[in-house]
Amino acid sequence: MTFSRRMAMQMTAAFLGSLKAASALTPTTREKLSDLTLWYEQPAAEWVEAMPIGNGRLGAMIYGGPSEDRIQLNESTLWAGSPYQPAHKGAAAHLKEAQKLVFEGRYREAQDFINKEMMAEPLMQLSYQTVGSLLINDEWAGPSLQYRRSLDLESAVARIEFVRDRKNFVREYFSSAVDQVIVVRFKADAPKGMSFAIGFESPQKTNVAMDGNDLILRGVNTDQQGIPGKLRFNARVRMLNEGGRLIKTDKGLRVQFADAVTLLIAINTNFKRYDDISGEPEALAKAAIEKAAAKPYEKLLADHIADYQRLFGRVKLDLGRSAVADLPTNKRVHADALESDPALAALYYQFGRYLLISSSRPGGQAAGLQGLWNESLNAPWQGKYTININTEMNYWIAEPGNLPECVEPLLALVKDIAVTGQVTAKEQYNARGWVAHHNTDIWRATAPIDGAQYGTWPMGGAWLCVQLYDHYDYSRNAAFLKELYPLMKGASQFFLDTLVAHPKHGWMVTNPSMSPEHDHPFGTTICAGPAMDTQILRDLFDCTAAAAAQLKSDTAFAAEVKAMRAKLAPDLIGKAGQLQEWLEDWDMDAPDIHHRHVSHLYGLFPSSQFNVYDTPKLTDAAKKSLEIRGDEATGWGTAWRLNWWARLADGEHAFKILKFLAGPERTYPNMFDAHPPFQIDGNFGGANGISEMLLQSFNGQIIALPALPKAWPNGSLKGVRARGGVTADLSWKNGALERLTLTANGKQSFTLRYGGEALPVTLGAKKPASFGLKAGKLALLA
C-alpha cells in the first residue's frame, strides 16, 4: 500500500470518527474546525454566500437553511441550444480587403467591414445553464439555535449543524466522483427527529414525476441565438429513510419521524459529444442511483473522501496562523487584513485547488468562466470558455498545484476545437490547420463572435496548445507529447498560411487581430501584429519544433516553423519606457491606460520570454507597463497582476495585490472571486500567484522563495511541482530558506536559484536531494 493511500485511509477514518463524535456532542463542545474549512454562523442568503461542491460533472451550491434549504444543481453538459457550426461561409473572400484596410490605418472601416462580412453566424455563442434546485422544507416550526455551516476542503464535505428542541441536527453534503451522485445525509442525536419534504424547482421546461420512490425532474434546455434547444435532462432523487414513513405528494416526497435520511441525487443529459446528443439520460441517472443505493452511507462517504484526498492531499501549505483564523470566513474576508491572518492566504490557495478538483475531472468538461456552478439560464458572459485569458488562467494552478489529472478535460476540449476549427480556418481564411478565436462553448464553436472589436483575435487555439505543452513540460511524459503534437502542428499550419508581411516594418504579423479587448487611439481594437500575438506565436512555434525534435519526427515541418519564427516582430520599448502593446507606440495615447487586460505582458507570465535573470531591459519595460496600468482590476485582471509581480520578484508588491484580491472588493463571502460578478478564473489565478511567490520554474531554472513577503516570515510548502518532472518540499524560517528538497521523475539538470545565488544541480531519478544555506551560501545539504 502506498503512503498516499495509507494517508487517505487514515484521514478518512479520522473524519468518519469526527462525524460520529459530533452527533454525540453538544454544539458548545464541538471539535474545532480545521484551518482548511470555510464556515459561517448563518445560512446563505444569496448564491455568492452558498457553498460549492462538485465532482467534475455534478455541482451544487449549498444554502444550508435549517428549515428551508436550497441545493442549486448543475450538470456540466447542460448548455443552451444544440449542435451548430457558426463559421461564416465565404468570409475568406473578404480577408484581403480587411487586411488592406488595417494596413492603410483605416481601423474603424476595417471593424465595420469585418462586422458585415466576416463574423460568426450567429454572432454570439450559447450559455451554460442550471438544472434548477432541490428544495428542502423542514416541518418543525421551532427556532434553530447554535447554527454553523461549513465546507471542509480536506474532505470536500459540506455540513450544517444546529440545535432545535434541545436536539442536535447535522446535515452533510458531498458530490461523489466515485458514485456519480450528490449525497445529502440528515441525522439527529435523538430518534424520530427527521420530518421534511423535498421538491424540485427549475426555470427550464420541465415536468415532475415519480418512479417508485424516486422523484424525477425531466426537462429540455432552452433555445438561444436561434439555435433550438434539444438537450434532454433527467434529475432523479431517491430518499432513503431509516425509520419513519415515506409519503408521496403531488409536489414531491415527504418523510415523517425518521431516525436518519439519505438523499441520492443523479443528473444526466443526452449529450455525448459536441456533435452527438443521442444519449439516454433517464437510464444513466437511474443506473447511478441504483449503484449508489446499494452502498451504506458510510461507504459512500468513505469512498468519496479517499478518492478526493488522493488529489487534494498531495500539497500542504503553512503560512502561519493567528487568532483571526478562528473567525467565520465571511468576517475574515471582510476584515481585509492578510498581514494579521496569514492562514487566510493558505486557505485561498487550497480553495483554488479544491475548486479545480471539483470542476475539472477526467471524463468531464473543462472548467468554464464559472467553473461547474451557475444559477441561471443565461450566465454572465454565458459561462463560456473565454480563451483570450480566462480558460488558460483556470489551469495555471493545475501543474504546480500537483493536479495534472485535472487537465484532461482541457485536452479533450482542444481535440474537439481542432476539428471544428478546421472548418473555421477554411471558411474564414482559406487556410490549412485549425483556428479558434476568443471564445468557445460546449458545441465547440470557433468562429469570431461578439462583434469585430472583441472577436477578431485568432490566437485562442494557439494559446491553449502552449498551455497544454506546459502539462508535458511539468511531467516530461512522452506519450502525452505524442498525443499533443498533432494539435500544435495544426495550429502552427494555420499561421504559416495566414501571417502576412507588414508593409512598413517587413515583419510577419497577424492581420486582422487585436490586443484583446483594449481599444487603441483610433477608436477600435482592430490592428495588425499586436505584441501578444507575436509572443504567443514564439511559444507555439518553439513548442512545436521542440516536440518534433523530442519525438524525432517531422524534421522538415519543424524547420519551416523555425524559419517563420525568425521573421516575427521583436518586442519593442516605447517612449514612456513601457513595453509596447502594439507595433506602433500608442500605449500612452490609448483611451484607457488602466485597462483590465495587459495582454502584451504574456511574455512575462505565463510565458518566460522576458524575466529578471535573462532579459533585464524588457523586464524593466514590462514593469513600467504594469506601473502605468495600476494594481486594481477585475478579479482575474488582479490575479494576473499578482502573477506578474511575483515574476518580477517583488514580494511586497505581490502581497499588496493579493490583499486586494482576497479582500471584500474581489472576494465574495463564500470565497468565490468577484469579477464582479463571479468568475472563477480569479480564484485559480490567485492560487497560482501564491504558488509563484514561493516557487518558480522556467527556462531550465528552479527559483526558491522568489517573492516572499515580510508577512510570511515562517512557513512551508510541500508537494508542489516544478518543470522537468520535479516535485518540491520547501520550508523557510525568519524570512530565509531553511530546506528545499527536490525529487525528479528522471535524471534532470537545471540551475537552482535563491536570492542572488545560482547553483548547477543534477538530480538522479527518484533520488531526493536537499538544499539550504551553509555559511550563508546556497548548498547541497547532507
Sort residue 699 into left (φ over 0), alpha (ψ -120 to 50) or beta.
left
Judge whether 135 and 70 are in contact, CB under 8 Å. Answer: yes
Given a cut of 90, is residue 9 above it in pLDDT? no
Enclosing H/E stretch for 320: none
Q: In 3-state terms, what secondary structure has residue 511?
A: coil
Given pLDDT bands bounded at 50, 70 and 90, which one contains residue 208?
Answer: very high
pLDDT of residue 32: 82
What are the backbone dihedrals phi and psi of residue 490, each rounded to the nearest 5 degrees, phi first?
-65, -40
Arithmetic mean of pLDDT, 458-467: 98
Which CA distances in Å does 642 have to 487, 626, 638, 687, 715? Answer: 31, 11, 6, 10, 20
Statement: residue 18 has pLDDT above 80:
no
pLDDT in tens, 622-666: 999 999 999 999 999 999 999 999 999 999 999 999 999 999 999
User: Which residues in 221-336 belong to E strands, given as ranges?
Assistant: 232-242, 245-248, 253-258, 260-269, 316-318
Task: List CB contacts of 20: < 8 A, sequence separation 6 or more.
Answer: none
Cβ atoms within 10 Å of 385's Cβ, excluding its own: 29
Return the sign of the alpha-carbon dihedral for residues 634, 463, 387, 108.
positive
Identify the residue with better confidence: 335 or 621.
621
Asked if 693 and 651 touch (Cβ cutoff 8 Å), the reply is yes
3-state secondary structure at position 642: helix
SS3 content of the chain, % helix, strand, coil (to 5): 35, 25, 40
Q: What are 174's strand-pairing partners? A: 183
Give Rg (Cα) of the chain.
27
> What pLDDT does residue 163 have?
94
CA angle 346-348-351, nearest 5°? 110
Q: What angle do CA 713, 718, 721 make, to 5 degrees?
A: 115
Residues sharing a CB contact under 8 Å with residue 31, sequence separation 6 or more, in sequence order: 18, 21, 22, 25
First to last CA, the chain: 29
pTM, entire model: 0.95
Residue 19 pLDDT > 80, yes or no? no
Could you list the beta-strand ranges (E) of 55-116: 58-62, 68-75
Over residues 370-394, the mean pLDDT reads 98
Q: What is the pLDDT of residues 337-350, one digit of tens each?
A: 899 999 999 999 99
Helix (H, G, I), strand (E, B) or coil at 31: coil
Q: Positive or negative, the Cα torsion across 364, 369, 374, 377?
A: negative
Look at the alpha carbons of 341, 346, 347, 348 in this order and tell me if their dihedral is positive or negative. Answer: positive
- Residue 540 reports pLDDT greater than 80: yes
| Number of alpha carbons in the 13 Å side-chain half-sphere of residue 471 | 25
Query: Residue 333: pLDDT above 70?
Result: yes
Are the C-beta atoms of residues 160 and 171 closer than 8 Å to each other? yes
Among 456, 352, 401, CA closest to 671? 352
Lowest mean pLDDT among 29-43, 205-219, 284-298: 29-43
Mean pLDDT value of segment 104-112:
98
- 3 state SS for 440-485: ECCCCCCCCCCCHHHHCCCCHHHHHHHHHHHHHHHHCCHHHHHHHH
Q: What is the 3-state secondary structure (H, E, C) of 344-370?
A: HHHHHHHHHHHHHHHHCCCCCCCCECC
Q: pLDDT at residue 353 above 60? A: yes
Decide if 401 contacts 688 (C-beta within 8 A): yes
CA 87, 93, 96, 101 torsion: positive or negative? negative
CB within 8 A of 492, min separation 6: which ones? Answer: 433, 540, 541, 544, 557, 561
Q: Phi first, then psi: what are they for 688, rounded to 5°?
A: -65, -35
pLDDT band at 507 (very low <50, low <70, confident <90, very high): very high
Q: How far apart are CA 718 and CA 704, in angstroms?
A: 13
753's CB contacts (< 8 A; 6+ apart) are 613, 701, 702, 703, 704, 706, 759
- Phi and psi, residue 224, nearest 5°: -155, 140
Alpha helices in 161-277 (DSSP H): none
- Residue 739, classified by CB atoms within 10 Å of its CB into exposed (0-12), middle (13-18) or buried (19+), is middle
pLDDT tens string 124-181? 999 999 999 999 999 876 788 999 999 999 999 999 999 998 899 999 999 999 999 9
> Is residue 682 helix, strand or coil?
helix
The continuous run of DSSP H or E covering 303 comes out as helix 297-312
Beta-carbon count within 10 A of 446 CB: 33
Tens of pLDDT, residues 37-81? 999 999 999 999 999 999 999 999 999 999 999 999 999 999 999
Q: Give me the percent of the chain exceeding a pLDDT of 90.
A: 92
**What is the arithmetic mean of pLDDT over 726-741?**
98
Averaged pLDDT for residues 425-440: 98
Task: Measure the CA–CA gap between 613 and 108, rounded to whole angstroms.
Answer: 41
Distance between CA atoms of residues 555 and 779, nearest Å: 41
Alpha-carbon dihedral angle through residues 142, 146, 151, 156, given to the nearest 10 degrees:
-70
Instruction: Give the type of residue at 576.
Output: A
Contacts of 538 (CB under 8 A, 6+ apart): 565, 568, 603, 607, 609
pLDDT at 191 over 60: yes
Q: 80 - beta bridge partners?
A: none
Residue 539: pLDDT above 50?
Answer: yes
**DSSP characters over 128-174:** B---EEEEEEE---S--EEEEEEEETTTTEEEEEEEETTEEEEEEEE
Q: What is the mean predicted confidence (pLDDT) over 522-534?
A: 98
Q: pLDDT of 673-684, one tens digit each?
A: 999 999 999 999
Alpha-carbon distances, residue 227 vs 422, 654, 767 (angstroms): 21, 45, 57
Q: Write down the pLDDT at residue 31.
A: 67
Three-state DSSP at 643 gives helix
> CA-to-CA distance for 70 and 61, rounded, in angstroms?
8
Q: Which residues of 641-651 are buried (b: 16+ CB within 10 A; e: fewer)?
A: bbbbbbbbbbb
Residue pair 471/442 in contact (Cβ under 8 Å)? The answer is: no
Average pLDDT, the chain: 95
Identify the pLDDT of residue 337. Answer: 84
**Average pLDDT, stretch 675-702?**
98
Calculate the CA 399 to chain-centre distance: 12
Orientation angle between helical segments 460-475 and 531-551, nearest 10 degrees: 40
Task: Give residue 250's pLDDT.
Answer: 82
Q: Which whole number is the average pLDDT over 107-113?
A: 98
| pLDDT value at residue 30 | 58
3-state secondary structure of 655: helix
What pLDDT was estimated at residue 146? 94
From the list 737, 703, 704, 731, the residue with the least C-alpha distance to 718 is 731
pLDDT of residue 782: 74
Pairing of strands 726-733, 715-722: antiparallel
Structure-block grid coordinates of residue 516? 484583446
Pairing verdict, β 736-744 and 769-774: antiparallel
